[in-house]
Amino acid sequence: MLGSATPHPSRVPPHDGWVDHYLLVGPADEPCLRLGRTVTRGALLDLVAEQKKRFSVAGLVSGGTVVLRLPPSLTYIAVLLAAWQSGAQVSLLDHRLTQAEVDRALDRLDPQFVVTAERTGGAALRGYSEVEAVLARRPGGRPAQSDHCLVQLSSGSTGPSKVIARTPQDLVRELARYDGLADYPARGARIVLLASVVHVLGLVGGLLQSLHAGARLDFPERLTGVGILDAVAVDELPTTVLGVPFHAELLAAQSDARRFPQLTRMIVAGELVRPGLPAVFTERYGVPLGTMFGMTELGMIATDLTGRHHPSVEPADGMRVRVQDGELLIAAAASPYLGSSDPTRWADGWLHTRDAATVDRDSGLLTLLGRLDSQISIGGLKVDLTEVERTVTALPGVTEAVVVHDGGIDAYLALEGTTVDIVQASLVRELAPYKRPRRLHVLPGLPRTTTGKTLRDPAALRRAAAEHPAS
């Protein structure tokens, strides 16, 4: 539970019309979404009004708290916007979480209402679902303890999730940063969204920004390589594909890599892109693989939408960054974390990212080097696990890899068209002995979080390897 005191009315999240002003304004007949069928703004407004009435009848008032656990769907979008219109603080849970994970999250968040899906149409790998929302009141659930409108849990790729909150002003400022990107889709263009709408890239960079800027947001019927390409082909509007590096890897590996005149670029975020992937993607599709750097805490921070600066990115307008003792710090007026404040994460107006980075003095370009905790000592010699991981992933036949320190350097990888012996022989040539992984664990595919990020928790990786002892 995040707090116990009843909030003063002045601290309750205000219903100030930000959803109507920034997201829902526009011609009623303008297509804004496509989930198997095209949805106009007018139709979306009607759906939002219907869901808002349901919340009102159930007793939700401004300053109330709602948890959404819905798959990507038209229902999810309408319920989210309706809850915000009602002045609620909304917490988002990925629909793929286990019930045990959901129960733990509800204990931490202590919401008044929970919205879940009663019926899902569609199978695994669907880009969207057809669901009916079930609204349940939680006896004893508490109203908002702050003026935040959005609460998210971090991905948990390196450990327990953090509870992160943002205000309407935070989201509007992020939308303004997207507006300042010359190459980001706006009215007359569309986004094919692969990223989760529960997490910051798909939520703000996809859903909210498309509504705000007038770009149409398309959800592919299936999140397979062929399904994504079919979604690109369905319309002649200038098209940007938005996802995580895993999706770019998937498309780069397609044997039927069609060229599309309407495809302008793909943009990925969430983790570092492996060396060589941008060139392979551009060779296959004739368009750049752009990259973004962002965090759940602050949203989009820096971009390279053209691919010219890879692996560097340019901080967006209004974002102040600096490097201190090798760690990237980003200006933030207040702590983004709910609960007790951790001075090792936020202090004196700066968010400590725990990412290693450099900032070029002349160009201002930011280069991410991996997690700060990837710097380890082996026999008194410094080893950068990110360097080792990049070396492993750059080898022929290695389709993906993650390198962790677990009493020693271990590499978990997936292979295609090569063998462990060949990879080990290559690493003898590429890395000094103290940098080489002590063991290579070959898996059919690396375990990932619900957002598509590679899991880096050693215990989770050990469990995955134990299921494939022959590796």
pTM across the whole model: 0.82
Listed residue (370, 201, 202) closest to 295, CA to CA: 201
What fold is seen in the domain 1-165?
Rossmann fold (3.40.50)
Q: Which two tokens stand for residue 53?
A: 């009435």
Task: Indicate the pairing of strand 346-347 with strand 350-359.
Answer: antiparallel
What's the confidence (pLDDT) of residue 161?
Answer: 66
User: Each residue's pLDDT tens digit in the chain (471 positions)?
Assistant: 343 333 333 443 455 689 999 999 999 999 999 999 999 999 999 999 999 999 999 999 999 999 999 999 999 999 999 999 999 999 999 888 888 888 989 999 999 999 999 866 555 678 899 999 999 999 999 999 999 999 998 765 445 568 999 999 999 999 999 999 999 999 999 999 999 999 999 999 999 999 999 999 999 999 999 999 999 999 999 999 999 998 999 999 898 768 899 999 999 998 888 888 999 999 999 999 999 999 999 999 999 999 999 999 999 999 999 999 989 999 999 999 987 667 888 999 999 998 889 999 999 999 998 777 777 777 666 788 888 988 999 899 999 999 998 888 999 999 999 999 999 999 998 888 888 999 999 999 898 877 677 888 888 899 999 988 654
Q: Angle formed by the axes of helices 277-285 and 245-252, to 10°?
A: 50
Q: How far apart are CA 3 and CA 7, in angstroms?
A: 10
What fold is seen in the domain 379-466?
GMP Synthetase; Chain A, domain 3 (3.30.300)
Asked if omega into 245 is within 30° of 0 (cis), the reply is: no
Q: How far apart are CA 237 and CA 216, in angstroms?
A: 9
What's the confidence (pLDDT) of residue 37?
Answer: 94
Round the CA-based radius of gyration of the chain to a whole number and report it. Answer: 22
**Domain boundary assignment for the chain:** 1-165, 167-319, 379-466
Q: How far apart are CA 453 and CA 450, in angstroms?
A: 7
**DSSP code, position 197:** T
What's the confidence (pLDDT) of residue 380?
Answer: 63
Note whether 258 and 234 are within 8 A (CB).
Answer: no
Whether 379-466 and 167-319 are alike in CATH topology: the answer is no
Q: Which two tokens stand for residue 137?
A: 């009141």
Q: How far apart are CA 335 and CA 304, in angstroms?
A: 27
What fold is seen in the domain 167-319?
Rossmann fold (3.40.50)
What's the confidence (pLDDT) of residue 7?
Answer: 36
